[in-house]
Amino acid sequence: MTISAIPTALIILIAAVILLIILFVMGYLKAPPDTAYIISGMRRRRILIGKAGWRVPFLERVDKLSLQVMTVDVKTSEAVPTNEFINVMVDGVANVKISSDPKLLEKAAESLLNMDKAHVIAMVTQVLEGNMREIVGSVGLKEMVQDRQGVAKKVSENVIPDMAKLGIELVNFNIQNFRDNAGTIENMGIDNVEQIRKNAQIAKANAQRDIAIASSQAQEEANAVKVETEKKIAAQNADLNVQEAEMKVLADTKKAEADAAYAIQQESQRKTIEVTKANADIARREKEAEIAEKEIAIRERKLDAEVRKAADARKYEAEKAAEADLIRRQRDADAKKYEAIQEAEARKAEAEALRFAMEQEAEGIRAKGIAEAEAIEKKAEAQKKMGEASILEMVLAALPEVVKNAALPLAQTDKIVMYGEGNSSRLVKDVMTSSSQVLEGVRESTGIDLTALLAGYIGGKASGNDTAPAPDRE
């Protein structure tokens, strides 16, 4: 973007802002606390002390007035006659400053602006010297010498209005020295010294006289005081004796009361001790009873333990005896088992031969059974209309033979050795199991469940509803 492309109004605005900043910087003021900035020009005069401000550049001006304290030595250039016409020379010192009061500062700006410090001090010195001459001429030499502070105060009070007209403030004023060429002040000092010496001697004589009088009076008063003191001592001794007697009576009374109280306390303590002993005895007896109960319980537990221990010993002895008996019986059983095994081995051959014989016999029985079964089947076909009663009758008729044949091998055994409980029941159960197996074989081969037929027949008999027709016998 070129300068020609920037709007003229914007350029003017920027220039105005820059100008305002420059004017602000040029016109900004910050006055220190010891200097007064006096701004004058367009508007009324303004004064800045210890703060910031602003003036219009080129149209307003700034002048400075120092507010620092100035020391002024004030000495009379020639002798000044007092009201007693005694010529004296006076030396003094004053501290002054331009006042920061706005009204006085306005006057200082009118009369002292742009004036250097030496010029201001010379002007103040003239004002102070004139006022000091006026005050010195109105007082006497003795008053002046004896009361410097009073004279200085009069000078200060007299000079303040004149200084205010210039806008100057008097901080303090002191007179340092008075002197005269005729030696009057020195002579006054000598006269004062002699007078003081005279007064001192008179005062000494008066003091000695007063001391003698005072000594006599003091001795007299001392004697009186001594007599009075002795009287008081005697009275006090009498009072002391009376008080001692009263104190003795009171002490005896208190002692008697104390003895009685001690006896009462002793009796109370004796009763308390007796009650405590009784309580302790009761507690001891209760404790002894408790201990006795615990000992009884311990003895009972001990006795119970001894009885239980004896019982446990007997039980242990019985268990050991039972174990020994069991071991013995097991040994006997093992021996018998060994004998039985030997005997069984001996009979094994016989059993094998017997089994072969039984198998041959069973084969014969099976052949016979097959023949009988065929005969029964034919009979069943012939007797098809006979019903379950006739079948059941046939089964019942053949059942003893079946059981007999199942038990036949056992009947032919000379000796059977069995171990454990319920041996006879197991033997019968084995026989019945063999019979059941035979019946099961009949069911599988013929399709007739003989067990169910028998159960139905027995149930019908039990209920009285036996409606089966009587079997026809051929």
Is 348 contained in some domain?
no
- Are the C-beta atoms of 56 and 27 separated by less than 8 Å? yes
Q: What are phi and psi of 404, to 5 degrees?
A: -60, -45
- Given 3-state DSSP classes, what are the helix, strand and coil percentages for the chain, each rounded to the nearest 5? 70, 10, 15
- Are the C-beta atoms of 91 and 176 separated by less than 8 Å? yes
Q: What is the mean pLDDT of residues 345-349?
A: 74
Average pLDDT over all residues of the chain: 76
Which range, of 138-152, 355-369, 396-410, averages the lowest pLDDT?
396-410
| pLDDT at residue 292 greater than cutoff 60 | yes
Rounded Cα distance between 109 and 168, Å, is: 11
Q: Summarize pLDDT for 125-169 with one digit per residue, the tens.
A: 888 888 888 888 788 777 777 778 888 888 888 888 888 888 898
Is 155 contained in some domain?
yes
Is 122 contained in some domain?
yes
Is 345 contained in some domain?
no
Q: Which of 138, 166, 182 is the last residue of a domain?
A: 182
Residue 43 sits in the same domain as residue 117: no
Is 236 contained in some domain?
no
According to DSSP H, which parts of 383-420 are helical?
388-411
| pLDDT at residue 191 greater than cutoff 70 | no
CATH number where 132 lies: 3.30.479.30
| pLDDT at residue 276 greater than cutoff 70 | yes
Residue 31 sits in the same domain as residue 130: no
Residue 72 sits in the same domain as residue 31: no
The CA distances from residue 193 to 86, 148, 187, 202, 465, in Å, are 21, 20, 9, 14, 181
374 or 328: which leads in pLDDT: 328
pLDDT of residue 95: 92
Percent of the chain predicted with pLDDT > 70: 73
Residue 391 sits in the same domain as residue 458: yes
Rounded Cα distance between 295 and 282, Å, is: 19
Residue 62 sits in the same domain as residue 75: no
pLDDT of residue 470: 43
pLDDT of residue 345: 78
According to DSSP H, which parts of 383-465 are helical?
388-411, 423-446, 450-463
Residue 95 sits in the same domain as residue 153: yes
What domain count does the chain have? 3
Strand partners, 90: 178
Q: Which of 182, 214, 231 is the last residue of a domain?
A: 182
Categorise residue 420: left if φ over 0, alpha if ψ from -120 to 50, beta otherwise.
Answer: left
3-state secondary structure of 86: coil
- Are the C-beta atoms of 117 and 70 separated by less than 8 Å? yes
Is 343 contained in some domain?
no
Rounded Cα distance between 14 and 20, Å, is: 10
- Are the C-beta atoms of 103 and 45 separated by less than 8 Å? no
Going by pLDDT thresholds of 50, 70 and 90, the confidence category of residue 27 is confident
Q: What residue numbers bound the domain in which 406 lies?
A: 383-474
Q: Which of 182, 208, 236 is the last residue of a domain?
A: 182
Which range, of 31-35, 96-100, 378-382, 411-415, averages the lowest pLDDT?
411-415
Q: What is the mean pLDDT of residues 423-442?
A: 63
Residue 62 sits in the same domain as residue 73: no
Q: What is the mean pLDDT of residues 103-117?
A: 84
| pLDDT at residue 444 greater than cutoff 80 | no
Rounded to the nearest 10°, the torsion over CA 467, 470, 471, 474 is -160
Which range, of 17-31, 34-48, 179-193, 210-224, averages the lowest pLDDT?
179-193
Which range, of 89-98, 208-217, 330-339, 355-364, averages the lowest pLDDT?
355-364
Q: Which two tokens stand for residue 409?
A: 């091998």
434 or 359: which leads in pLDDT: 359
Rounded Cα distance between 78 and 178, Å, is: 12
Is 39 contained in some domain?
yes
Residue 429 sits in the same domain as residue 461: yes
Is 293 contained in some domain?
no
| pLDDT at residue 363 greater than cutoff 60 | yes
Residue 169 sits in the same domain as residue 101: yes
Residue 398 sits in the same domain as residue 439: yes
Q: Is 88 exposed, middle or buried (0-12, 13-18, 19+ CB in 10 A)?
A: buried
Residue 56 sits in the same domain as residue 115: no
Residue 406 sits in the same domain as residue 448: yes
